[in-house]
């Protein structure tokens, strides 16, 4: 699907083994989930198997090093994006992020891609900005993580601002 440098990005094909494997990888990172969803495998399965959700796996050779997720694609004009990298080096993958958002705009009639990023995810915020997302606002005390209420930084990327497009 997408190749850049030593990485490939491809859409995940789900089966029971893949669900358990991805769940295991994500569970190693306790701040990836809010206090409402941490440890809830069934909720995870519902989220990733939703017909309006796409999960793209980032691989370094055969090993997964992260995921891009787009959900709420039923809205047609906007979807909610997520990115996670297990190697904690998102800056290396900015070009992959640009290619992944370009792919999303090419595959779906989206007007924009939105992201809500917890304020403690400094590297993810920088990654999103480097990909082309712009800060649009703050949802105050919107998510509980490890017993603390955190702000969500609202970010957006418009189709004409995305990689490989000129302003229209």
Here the tokens at position 46 are: 């519902």
Q: For 7, phi and psi rounded to 5 degrees? A: -105, 150
Handedness of CA 15, 66, 26, 38 (dihedral sign): negative
Q: For 163, phi and psi rounded to 5 degrees? A: -55, 130
2-161, CATH topology level: Aminopeptidase (3.40.630)
117 within 8 A of 155, measured Cβ to Cβ:
yes
Instruction: Express each pLDDT in 105-141 by its tens digit.
Output: 999 999 999 999 999 999 999 999 999 999 999 999 9
Mean pLDDT, range 91-104, rounded to an integer: 93
pTM of this prediction?
A: 0.86
């Amino acid at each position: 699907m997408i190749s850049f440098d030593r990485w490939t990005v491809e859409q995940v094909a789900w089966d029971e083994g893949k669900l358990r494997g991805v769940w295991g990888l994500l569970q190693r990172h306790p701040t990836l989930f809010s206090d409402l969803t941490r440890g809830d495998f069934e909720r995870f399965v519902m989220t990733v198997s939703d017909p309006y959700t796409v999960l793209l796996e980032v691989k370094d050779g055969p090993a997964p090093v992260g995921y891009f997720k787009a959900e709420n694609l039923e809205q047609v004009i906007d979807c909610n994006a997520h990115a996670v990298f297990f190697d904690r080096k998102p800056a290396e993958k900015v070009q992959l992020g640009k290619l992944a958002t370009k792919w999303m705009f090419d595959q779906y009639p989206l007007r924009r891609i939105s992201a809500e990023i917890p304020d403690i995810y400094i590297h993810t915020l920088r990654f999103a900005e480097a990909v082309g997302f712009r800060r649009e606002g703050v949802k105050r005390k919107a998510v509980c993580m490890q017993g603390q209420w955190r702000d969500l930084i609202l970010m957006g990327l418009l189709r004409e601002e995305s990689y490989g497009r000129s302003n229209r």
